[in-house]
Amino acid sequence: MRIVICDDDPIIANQINDLIIAYFTNNNFELPPIDIYNSGDDLLNSDKQMDIVFLDIEMPGVDGIYAGRKIKEKNKNAIIFIVTSFMEYLDAAMSFHVFRYLSKPIEKNRFMYNLRDALKVYNNENIYITIETPEKITRVLSHEIIMVEFYGRYLEVTTINEKFNSIQPMAYWLDALNIPGFFRTHRSNIINMKYVTEFTKDIVFLHDNGYRAYLTRRKYVEFKRAYMLYLDSIT
């Protein structure tokens, strides 16, 4: 993990840096590398990894909106915080799926619980899952799994890149995907709520409606509640 701060105000940049250090120190976590940039140009000229980014909007040269879009092009899973006093830019920031907004001046307690939430998302999205097929064993990141579906002797695991015929039993997948964001919609299906496009009382559509999973009617209310909580956790 690598954390990035980009703000042309050194006071704000140093405050964010100090709060990050305090959070990791107080929780006895290993402190990751923190990079500080004073302009969007310097940020985009860097070839360093960017996992969690605290990004100002109004800066000389490249603004935070443009920089945020470019970061997402390089790393679609980057977790971006917009740190600003200018609320009129928030609609534009939504276009590249900002994780949270932090207003200036920064309030310590709000910063800390938002950083906690970002770390939860980062950790959940960077869990590797082992898939065993008749031909090979593969490891994929959990966030790349769209759904798991039982088909006779095999479980078909659909990821964003390919499909696998897993020889592992459903019990294995229920345990492996017992992490936030996954839900068993039917005895034959486990889905990743990250890819839900829409749902009815008996079907869940995923990945721009490219896939569908059965939803047991008795689980509709439970799934709806879980999905609303999931959306709340990422906005």
pLDDT digits (tens, 9 = 90+) for 91-109: 665 667 788 889 889 999 9
pLDDT at 199: 96
Q: What is the pLDDT of residues 36-61, one digit of tens each?
A: 999 999 999 999 999 999 999 888 88
d(CA 163, CA 32) in angstroms, rounded, equals 34
Band of pLDDT at residue 154, cut at 50, 70 and 90: confident
Which percentage of the chain shows pLDDT scores above 90?
Answer: 72
Please provide the average confidence, as pLDDT, over all residues in the chain: 91
Residue 136 has pLDDT above 90, yes or no: yes
Q: List the chain domain ranges.
A: 3-125, 128-233
H runs (alpha helix) in the chain: 10-26, 40-45, 64-74, 90-94, 108-125, 170-176, 220-233
d(CA 29, CA 111) in angstroms, rounded, equals 17
pLDDT at 156: 97
The better pLDDT of the pair 166, 123 is held by 166
CATH code 3.40.50.2300 for 128-233: no
Residue 190 has pLDDT above 70, yes or no: yes
Residue 160 has pLDDT above 70, yes or no: yes
Listed range (65-69, 84-88, 148-152, 227-231) with the worst mean pLDDT:
84-88
Q: What mean pLDDT comes out for the span 204-227? A: 94
The better pLDDT of the pair 70, 124 is held by 70
Q: What mean pLDDT comes out for the span 153-182? A: 93
pLDDT at 202: 95
Q: Which amino acid is at 37?
A: Y
Beta strand 79-84 with 100-103 is parallel
pLDDT at 208: 87
Cis amide bond preceding 105, omega within 30: yes
Beta strand 196-199 with 203-206 is antiparallel
d(CA 203, CA 206) in angstroms, rounded, equals 10
Domain 3-125 sits in which CATH superfamily? Response regulator (3.40.50.2300)
d(CA 169, CA 3) in angstroms, rounded, equals 38
pLDDT at 89: 60
pLDDT at 60: 87
Instruction: Identify the three-state secondary structure at position 202.
Output: coil
pLDDT at 217: 93
Residue 16 has pLDDT above 90, yes or no: yes
